[in-house]
Amino acid sequence: MPQRPKLLTREVLPFFGSFAALALFALAFDGLLHLFDLLWIGRWLGIPGTLLIIGSTVYSLRKRKLIQRGQPAKLLRWHEWLAWLGSLLVLVHAGVHFNAILGWLAVWAMLINVGSGLTGKFLLDRARKRMEEARRRMRDRGLSEGELEDRLYWDSMTFDVVKQWRAVHFPITLAFSVLATAHIVAIFLFWGWK
């Protein structure tokens, strides 16, 4: 029972908090642009937003060993922040009330991608905590065979969940990438940088 408040404050709230903060910041930013009649800024925010999201994929390349440089743990933190910030800018950009279906689909795919990313962060943090706890217990006191077996089972389950999540996160990212690319190509095809 005492675990429940910890679960809420340490895991559930940060997860929903990140998503809610994204929505609230986007609404506030969009509101300010409308208030001061600066919608043209919103139109251009798609570019830095996209660049930030592209920058965040350095971690994905490192994880798949397509690049060899950089500490994965550090790059993961950058991945989380850059993707969140880039999504915020794209969301404000989208808040300038576009009409095209392709743009809508790209934004929804991005939001699902952000939700998926936050789920991955949540699962990974939980797995890390369980591993650290297990390691500490094993170090501090000797575990009985049954307890150790039980703990390792749960750890392996956690890792399986992370693996399964990766299998879902990739197609979502793929869908987002294709839709966003299609939207960007369409814009550059018809837009004249004015």
Partner 1 sequence: MKKRPLLLIVIALNLLILVALAFVYPHLMVSPGPLVKGHAELATDCFACHSAWRGASSSRCTECHVTAEVGLKTTKGVPIPSRTVKVSFHQELLEQDCMACHSDHQGPKLTKSSRKPFSHGLLKVAVRDTCSSCHAAPKDTVHRDLQIECSKCHESKAWNPAHFDHALLAKAELDRCESCHNAPTDRLHRQFQGGCKSCHKTDAWKPATFDHNKFFVLDRDHEATCETCHKNNDYSRYTCYGCHEHSEAKVRQEHIEEGIQNFQNCVECHRDPRVEPEKHGGRERSGRKKD
Least Å distance, CB 80 to partner 1, is: 24
Among 54, 96, 124, 148, binds partner 1 (CB under 8 A): 96
Three-state SS sequence of 141-176: CCCCHHHHHHHHHHHHHHHHHHHHHHHHHHHHHHHH
Tell me how far apart the alpha carbons of residues 108 and 104 are, in angstroms, rounded to a whole number: 6
Q: Choose the binding region for partner 1 from 4-12, 77-85, 123-131, 182-190 (rule: CB under 8 A).
A: 182-190
Q: How far is the CB of 99 from partner 1 (least distance, A)?
A: 5
- How many angstroms separate the Cα of 137 from the Cα of each of 1, 128, 158? 21, 14, 18
- What are the start-end ranges of the H helices in the chain? 3-6, 13-35, 39-44, 46-56, 58-63, 72-94, 101-140, 145-190
Considering beta carbons, is residue 70 or 171 the nearer one to partner 1? 171
Smaller CB separation from partner 1, 26 or 75: 26
182 binds partner 1 (CB under 8 A): yes
Residues 37-66 that bind partner 1 (CB under 8 A): 37, 39-40
Residue 163 and residue 41: Cα distance in Å, rounded? 40
Binds partner 1 by CB under 8 A, chosen from 3, 71, 99, 144:
99
Tell me which residues touch partner 1 (CB under 8 A): 34, 37, 39-40, 96-102, 105, 167, 171, 174-175, 178-179, 182, 186, 188-194
